[in-house]
Amino acid sequence: MVKERRKEDNTFKRMIDIGIALSSERDHNRLMELILLETKDLCNADGGTLYLRTEDDRLKFEIMRTDSLNFAKGGTTGEDITFPPLYLHDPETGKPNNHNIATHVALSGKTVSIPDAYETDQFDFSGTKKFDEGTGYRSKSFLTVPMKNHDGDVIGVIQLLNSRDQETGEVIAFNEGIQPLIESLTSQAAVALDNQNLLLAQKQLLDSFIAMIAGAIDAKSPYTGGHCQRVPVLAMMLADQACASSEGIFNDFDMNADQRYEMEIAALLHDCGKVTTPEYVVDKATKLETIYDRIHEVRTRFEILKRDAEIACLKAIIDGGDEVALRAGLEKTLKGLDDDFSFIADANIGGEFMTDEAIERVKTIAATTWTRTLDDRIGVSHEELKRMERAPAKPLPVQEPLLSDRPEHVIERDPANKIAEDNPFGFKMNEPVDMYNRGELYNMCIQKGTLTTEERYKINHHMVQTIAMLGQLPFPKHLLKVPEIAGGHHETMIGTGYPKRLSKEDMTLPARMMAIADIFEALTACDRPYKKAKTLSESLKILWFMKKDQHIDPDLFELFLKSGVYKTYADKFLMESQIDEVDISQYLD
């Protein structure tokens, strides 16, 4: 009596331990394996199979074990099960498949125990008998149990084979007394598996949503190409090498599965703030471009001046003037206007550094006047009209310069677009007074590139948006560092970057890895329509200069070179013409 009670107590303690193990196991294959092995062990079965119900209403073999045959497939073995799934309903007639014991249990939701498969005609065991013929095995007793989740839905089936006597090892029928325990355990297992499937589904949804955002950012502008897809690949390559290294600062660095996932998510979302950056700023290819290139307006003004010059010449000839002299003067005027417009058009490209002399010539040309005879305050938007009304309208006709900076060109910064000094994120950005300044002369006198101070700030502001957007998301515990990792790739090691002016000590290694991945991808990208892709040697040289200027982490840059990450990435993503010879020794100082 005492022995029986002790045995019963041990069984219940084991059930509790199994329940705890089931609820804590996060790996799908190990969980299914644990479910089968524990149920098999509880009733001392020689073999067992775990089936899962598929979305197309079939039973799929997930794990198979037979101890005496040393047979193990599925689960953590890495051995695929080649048996096709079992149809729960006839694919032609739609009738329920009650011939097979596993499908019958799945459909009925009731446990079935068979003492001897060879002595029953209740179910079709022809497949089992064929297996026995091929292996010399003798399948006898079966216990087939449905796996029901908390909603009572059958999500799978466990089939146990050949219960063995604890003392003699003889194959016997499954003990009816243990059946309720097995059913209880399979119910626990089903709930654990269902919960894991729900978590997996949530993870897949999150992953898909994040991938969709990253893809949308890349698709928003041809200037970013596949940036958000490639940066995570490069970042994880560098992270893997940091984990593998035992040198210097990497000796104690490692990442578990959660930390790797956290970094992958951060890398995919590192530029999510770009969804708020207008395309006409990100894609600004010329100095006068906004939503369209305003060089066409300037060209029209030059055309008007040329027409006016021709009309004045013809009038003077009609009035009896010297035609030869007048036409010679006209030719000189037209050529001068053509030369001036050609200079303005070239300056609009913004490809080379603009000298002080060139700026003075722009201003001189800009001062040339043309005559406007139409009201410029009709047919415009309400917002633009409000900006125009900052200055009184001039009576028509009016003389206006070819290029000007007018009140309506300035878009003031409203309170909603200002960063408070005591902002909760710690942003420290040199914020221009105005949101935009679209002044024609102001833009034409940009010395380098095509962006004004205001536009460059707007582009840099994507990091503010990235951190703010990610900071609003209720990330679970294992993803709490996503905003920090994603938000640091424009910071430097000496506090001169943005948006928080962080230094090396303020950032984790993964955040500093992001900077190298972001820069190297941008330098080598071959799908940017506005620039030629740089070669491997050119890109590494630029990174080296950035290391010397303390813009990127020197230890990570050295690891980037020594580990060969740069070459591995290049072989995968760069064009063959970009991959030239590189002597990394010159950068290891």
The 10s digit of each residue's pLDDT in 447-489 is 999 999 999 999 999 999 999 999 998 998 999 999 999 999 9
Question: Is residue 213 assigned to a domain?
Answer: no
Question: Is residue 449 assigned to a domain?
Answer: no
Between 464 and 210, residue with greater pLDDT: 464
Burial 289-326 (b: 16+ CB within 10 A, else e): beeebbbeebeebbeebbeebeeebeebeeeeeeeeeb
DSSP 117-182: GGG--SS--HHHHHHHHHHT-----EEEEEEE-TTS-EEEEEEEEEEE-TTT--EEPPPGGGHHHH
Predicted local confidence at residue 25, as pLDDT: 59
Range 34-49 average pLDDT: 87
CATH number at residue 540: 1.10.3210.10
Residues 138 and 243 in one domain: no
Residues 562 and 523 in one domain: yes
Does 429 score more than 50 pLDDT? Answer: yes
Phi-psi region of 57 (alpha: psi -120 to 50; beta: other; left: phi over 0): left
Percent of the chain with pLDDT over 90: 67
Question: How many domains does the structure of the chain reveal?
Answer: 3
Predicted local confidence at residue 192, as pLDDT: 77
Distance CA 225, CA 383 (A): 34
Distance CA 457, CA 220 (A): 19
Count of CB atoms within 10 A of residue 185's CB? Answer: 23
DSSP state of 503: B
Which pTM does this prediction carry?
Answer: 0.76
Angle of helix 509-524 versus helix 257-268 axis, rounded to 10 = 40
Question: Is residue 211 assigned to a domain?
Answer: no
Does 351 score more than 90 pLDDT? Answer: no
Residues 187 and 226 in one domain: no
Model confidence at 300, pLDDT cuts 50, 70, 90, reads: very high
* Strands 171-172 and 369-372, sheet pairing: unpaired
Predicted local confidence at residue 2, as pLDDT: 44
Question: Is residue 321 assigned to a domain?
Answer: yes
Range 340-365 average pLDDT: 94
CA atoms within 13 A on the CB side of 369: 7
Residues 272 and 146 in one domain: no
Angle of helix 179-220 versus helix 227-244 axis, rounded to 10 = 120
Distance CA 16, CA 369 (A): 91
Does 502 score more than 90 pLDDT? Answer: yes
Query: What is the rounded average pLDDT for all residues in the chain?
Result: 90
Predicted local confidence at residue 11, as pLDDT: 60
Residues 8 and 113 in one domain: yes
CATH number at residue 84: 3.30.450.40
Q: Which two tokens stand for residue 164?
A: 């063995």
Between 61 and 352, residue with greater pLDDT: 61
DSSP 371-439: EE-S-TTSS--HHHHHHHTTSPPPPSSEEEESS---GGGEEEPPGGG---TT-TT-------SEEEE--
Predicted local confidence at residue 239, as pLDDT: 97
Residues 118 and 254 in one domain: no
Does 190 score more than 90 pLDDT? Answer: no
Q: Which two tokens stand for residue 32?
A: 């299914």
CB neighbour list of residue 577: distance below 8 Å, 6 or more residues apart = 535
CA atoms within 13 A on the CB side of 240: 12
Residues 81 and 11 in one domain: yes
Distances (CA, A) of 218 to 228, 274, 304, 450: 6, 9, 42, 21
DSSP state of 476: -
Of 206-215, 233-242, 402-411, 578-587, the least confident:
206-215
Residues 116 and 174 in one domain: yes
Instruction: List, for residues 521-572, the tens digit of each pLDDT value.
Output: 999 987 655 567 789 999 999 999 999 999 999 999 999 999 999 999 999 9
DSSP state of 494: B
Question: Is residue 216 assigned to a domain?
Answer: no
Instruction: List, for residues 364-423, the tens digit of each pLDDT value.
Output: 999 999 999 999 999 999 999 999 999 999 999 999 999 999 999 999 999 989 999 899
Question: Is residue 568 assigned to a domain?
Answer: yes
Burial 192-225 (b: 16+ CB within 10 A, else e): bbbebeeeeeeeeeeeeebeebbeebbeebebbb
Percent of the chain with pLDDT over 70: 94
Instruction: List, for residues 87-136, the tens digit of each pLDDT value.
Output: 999 988 999 999 999 999 999 999 999 999 999 989 999 988 998 998 89
Distance CA 108, CA 102 (A): 10
HEC states along 535-551?
CHHHHHHHHHHHHHCCC
Model confidence at 3, pLDDT cuts 50, 70, 90, reads: very low
Predicted local confidence at residue 21, as pLDDT: 61
Question: Is residue 208 assigned to a domain?
Answer: no
Predicted local confidence at residue 152, as pLDDT: 85
Is-contact 162 118, C-beta < 8 A? no
Does 20 score more than 70 pLDDT? Answer: no
Helix (H) or strand (E) holding 62: strand 58-66
Residues 130 and 253 in one domain: no
Question: Is residue 456 assigned to a domain?
Answer: no
Residues 322 and 417 in one domain: yes
Residues 362 and 507 in one domain: no
Beta bridge partners, 569, equal none
Least Cα distance to 443 among 409, 411, 469 occurs for 409
Least Cα distance to 40 among 145, 154, 195, 135 occurs for 145
Model confidence at 223, pLDDT cuts 50, 70, 90, reads: low
Provide the total of helices (H) and of strands (E) in the chain, helices listed first.
Answer: 20, 12
Q: Which amino acid is at 498?
A: Y
Distance CA 163, CA 68 (A): 12
- Residue 51: helix, strand or coil by DSSP? strand
Does 361 score more than 80 pLDDT? Answer: yes
Range 219-234 average pLDDT: 81
Give residue 324's domain range.
295-444
Instruction: List, for residues 305-344, the tens digit of each pLDDT value.
Output: 999 999 999 999 999 999 999 999 999 999 999 999 999 9
Residues 438 and 467 in one domain: no
Distance CA 513, CA 242 (A): 10
Range 495-511 average pLDDT: 95
Does 355 score more than 70 pLDDT? Answer: yes
